[in-house]
Structure 1
Amino acid sequence: MNIAGKKVIVTGAEGFIGSHLTERLVELGADVTALVQYNSFNNWGWIDTFDSNVKSSINVVTGDIREYDGIKRIIKGNEIVFHLAALIAIPYSYQSPMAYVRTNIEGTTNVLEACREYDIQKIVHTSTSETYGTALYVPIDEKHPMQGQSPYSASKIGADKIAESFYKSFNTPVATLRPFNTYGPRQSARAVIPTIISQILAGKSEIKLGDLSPTRDFNFVKDTAEAFVKVAESDNTVGEVINAGSNYEISIKDTIDLIVKIIGKDVKIICDEQRLRPKNSEVNRLWADNRKIKELTGWAPKYDIESGLRETIEWMKDNLQHYKPDIYNV
């Protein structure tokens, strides 16, 4: 399937990954509808920052995936659905777990039910490497057990299983993409890389962080957006769960050292207790096996960690006003 000319909808298009995917789909010639969460300010998130030519190419609609009738009207008439809308902040899931059930599980069910009713040609459902929890073996392939180490990850496991059930019960053409640790321009300060960069760029000599020992498989957002496209276009991905990762493991401590080296400023790291996850909730190790996505779609990451960080830092230098380095963003 070639995405050019296809009528596609992106849920969560105003967000970090969703906004990059939306831009990429426009670039590829798709007829794009961007679903953003309704708000009284008519705020379109990162879409508001798009180049005017890109913005004018998008049909922006507001709604809420938790409301079935509305989402059904929005999905009608499209051919491909990229489902990215979700609550994703792990710390906030400790405070409001039911909100994650309603958005991530019930919302996903609404999207899939609407897709089933209107015979959508392809759905790409967004999972997360957090569903694996701390690695029981590495690299982590798609057969790795899922572990609900936070309410967020548990809700995403539930959403993934709903997607699996629609494929097995109704032959719904859904593929589940499981990105590992995406970073890059526009990422919320709730995530570790923009937290580090924003504090340093704001002139802080002491950087507040949580645990530095966990390892992550970081992936630049443009690579992740391309993985969504490749999974949608491939005829081999229906019914599959597919990792999108770099197959490269790096600790938070080493990531800090690399950022400090690129920016060229020495800093002292301070452990901030409120940034620590509960002991049994922390995911200590993530490292993706990406052989399956390469075999099924031909996708491979183009950015290594240093080139991705350099592009992220340059963007953040020009966009620091979007961040609040003095405030812990849950």
Structure 2
Amino acid sequence: MKALITGSAGFIGSHLSQRLLEEGYDVVGIDNLNDYYPSFIKKKNVELCNDFSRNLDSKFNFVEGDILNQSIMEEVFDEFNFELVFHQAAQAGVRYSVENPIEPNNINVNGTLNLLETSRKNDVRLFINASSSSVYGETKYLPFDEKHPKTPKSPYGVSKLASEQYCRVFNELYDINTVSLRYFTVYGPRMRPDMAISNFVRRCLNNKSPIIYGNGKQTRDFTYIQDVTKANIELISKKEAQGEIINIGSGENISIKKLAKEIIKETNLEKEPIYSEKKKGDVKNTYADIKKAKKLINYEPKFGIKEGIKKYIDWYKKNKDWYKNNK
């Protein structure tokens, strides 16, 4: 089968491309290579997927294009005839969205709608939408189950909630099978350089204290990238999950202060964290109730935060130049 991955040059999209190629799917990736974070990192991801596919029977094709461009999307669908769509493209960043509220709406809402409509017209069998724990907002209770009130604190969270609702409506009105996965802070090799774990590790390995925004008591559920890609793969064959919205997390959480201490310990840094002013839009806690994912797709996260941090640090030490432009 052929699969389309939007945002395929990004962190999650490139890992998902590799996983699908391993599973024997022909993959077409589309990405506009925008400069929210350095585009040379995204180009490295594309090169990696191209190199990876050369040793397999499955094929990887990359298209530089924007999901907002309807003519490009129609051309891509006409040429490749997809059965599966994995929609990972988004304007990411809670803090970025606070300063730029219109952009996440344009990309995350209008882009999703454009992609859904193109998928509907082309009889796509399954549309998997990447959503976010940011839809929940402030804590009413923990852990968050899928029925927890949704009161997002950022334009990014609002845009992701809207994208979920468009998927639900298309599932109900147009008989296109959709699923939305609410990711809880995904991390791992090749992760975005602006994320907390990558920032902390980079600073610690350069003999600098990690910077914590706020008092460090806020907690996060960090989900390792391999658990996320496995959840996406499982959805392909699980018809009972179609039409659903599902949390994908680790099933545990950790305070940012404790996270920083753990990274300091693992990197043998002899310094304490530095504290700075809390950023607007940040929520106090995230923590996924994953019972629904276990029931519907046999989801069992394999990586706890301590093991995941060690794996990321090991990768970073071997790939220090990944975040550097060597051209």
Matched-pair contact (CA < 8 Å) for 1:242–1:292: yes
Taking structure 2 as the reference length, what is the TM-score of the superposition?
0.91
- 1:68-147 matches, within 5 Å, as 68-76=70-78, 77-147=81-151
**1:290 lines up with 2:290 in the alignment:** yes
Question: Which residues in structure 2 correspond to 1:205-224 (within 5 Å)?
Answer: 206-211=209-214, 212-224=216-228
Deviations 1:147-184 (A, max 9, x none): 12011111111111111111122122111111111111
Deviation for aligned residue 1:116: 0.3
The whole-number CA distance in structure 1 between the counterparts of 2:141 and 2:68 is: 36
User: 2:33 and 2:157 mapped to 1: Cα distance?
Assistant: 25
- Tell me which residue corresponds to 1:304: 304
1:63 equivalent in structure 2 = 65
Letter in 2 for 1:120: V
Aligned 8 A contact 2:17 2:49 in 1: no
Alignment check: 8 A CA contact 1:182 1:220 kept = yes
Corresponding residue for 1:327?
A: none
Change (3 A) 1:51 1:112: closer
The answer to whether the Cα contact below 8 Å between 2:212 and 2:276 also exists between their aligned partners in 1 is: yes
* Offset from partner CA, 1:196-223 (integer Å, 9 cap, x none): 001011222x332312121111111111
Structure 1 residues 46 and 85 mapped into 2: Cα distance closer, same or farther (>3 Å)? same
What residue is the counterpart of 2:318 in the other structure? 318
Alpha-carbon distance in structure 1 between the residues aligned to 2:200 and 2:12: 19
Q: Deviations over 1:89-110 (max 9, x none)?
A: 1121122111111100000001
2:6/2:31 contact within 8 Å kept: yes
Distance of 1:152 and 1:53 partners within structure 2: 32
Q: For 1:212-269, what per-residue CA distance to the aligned partner results, in whole angstroms no more than 9, with x for missing partners? A: 1211111111111111111232111111001111211111111111112222222222
Alignment match, 1:230: 234
In 2, distance between residues paired with 1:292 and 1:73?
37
Aligned-residue sequence identity (percent) comes to 32
- Pairwise CA distance, 1:318: 2.3
- What SS does structure 2 have at the residue aligned with 1:194? helix
Unaligned runs of 5+ in 1: 1-5, 325-330
Aligned to 1:27: 22
The change in CA–CA distance for 1:55 and 1:209 in structure 2 (over 3 A counts) is: farther
What letter is aligned with 1:185? P
What is the alpha-carbon distance in structure 1 between the residues aligned to residue 44 and residue 86 of structure 2? 17
Matched, 1:270 2:269: no
Determine helix, strand or coil for the equivalent of 1:32.
strand
In the alignment, the residues of structure 2 paired with residue 181 and residue 225 of structure 1 have an alpha-carbon distance, to the nearest angstrom, of 14
| Equivalent-residue separation in structure 2 for 1:233 and 1:261 (angstroms) | 41
What is the TM-score normalised by the length of structure 1? Answer: 0.90
Correspondence for 1:48: 47
2:161 equivalent to 1:157: yes
Q: Residue 14 of structure 1 aligns with which residue?
A: 9
Quick check: 45-54 or 206-215, which moved more?
45-54
- Given that residues 208 and 271 in structure 1 are in contact (C-alpha distance below 8 angstroms), is that contact kept between their aligned partners in structure 2? yes
- In structure 2, the CA distance between the partners of 1:74 and 1:107, relative to structure 1 (3 Å rule), is same
Report how many aligned residue pairs link the two structures.
314
What is the CA-CA distance between 1:75 and the residue it aligns to? 2.8
Q: CA deviation at 1:72?
A: 2.2
Amino acid at match of 2:227: D
CA deviations over 1:124-165 (Å, ceiling 9, x no partner): 011001111122111111111111201111111111111111
Q: List gaps (5 residues or longer) in structure 2.
A: none
Deviation at 1:58, TM superposition (A): 0.7
**1:244 partnered with 2:239:** no
Report the alpha carbon displacement of residue 270 of structure 1 after superposing the two structures with TM.
1.5
